[in-house]
Amino acid sequence: MIVCSCAVITDLDIEQALLEILDKPDAPLPTPGVVYGHLEKKMVCCGCASLAVETIYSKMEKLAEAGVVCPYACACAQGRLLKCADGTHAMRLIENALVNRTPGRPAASAGGAPAPA
């Protein structure tokens, strides 16, 4: 799926960038700016920012569930992304993604960790 048509960035590009970013010691918070910078791209119109945040959040969750990256690092980063997205359109997209999760999987809380069962 194309996330940014200006810079031609796909969800798979974001996933690969996350693998590389989150593998670093003291990995930075993978915001769209960090991810785009890692891909050596820049945001042009910023119309993709909300979708980029949603994609980054959901890709981190999938990578953690697959055991490809540390689930604790992902939960921490997800919590920080939620805090940054609070009150923005990106937060509404993240909340929608959480509501539409696979049944039986706990939704992430505002802290980024799975909600207690």
Domain boundaries, the chain: 2-99
Q: Is 2 strand, coil or helix?
A: strand
Most confident stretch, 22-26, 35-39, 69-73, 82-86: 35-39
Does 80 or 102 have the greater pLDDT score? Answer: 80
> Beta-carbon neighbour count of residue 15 at 10 Å?
18
Measured CA to CA, the distance from residue 117 to residue 97 in angstroms comes to 19
Q: How far is CA 71 from CA 6, 27, 88, in A?
A: 31, 14, 25
pLDDT at 15 over 90: yes
Measured CA to CA, the distance from residue 38 to residue 17 in angstroms comes to 7
Q: How far is CA 18 from CA 100, 105, 117, in A?
A: 22, 22, 28
Contact indicator for 85, 91 with CB cutoff of 8 Å: yes
pLDDT at 72 over 70: yes
pLDDT at 117 over 60: no
Mean pLDDT of the chain: 82
Measured CA to CA, the distance from residue 21 to residue 36 in angstroms comes to 11
Distance separating the N- and C-terminal Cα atoms of the chain: 33
pLDDT at 22 over 50: yes
Measured CA to CA, the distance from residue 33 to residue 39 in angstroms comes to 10
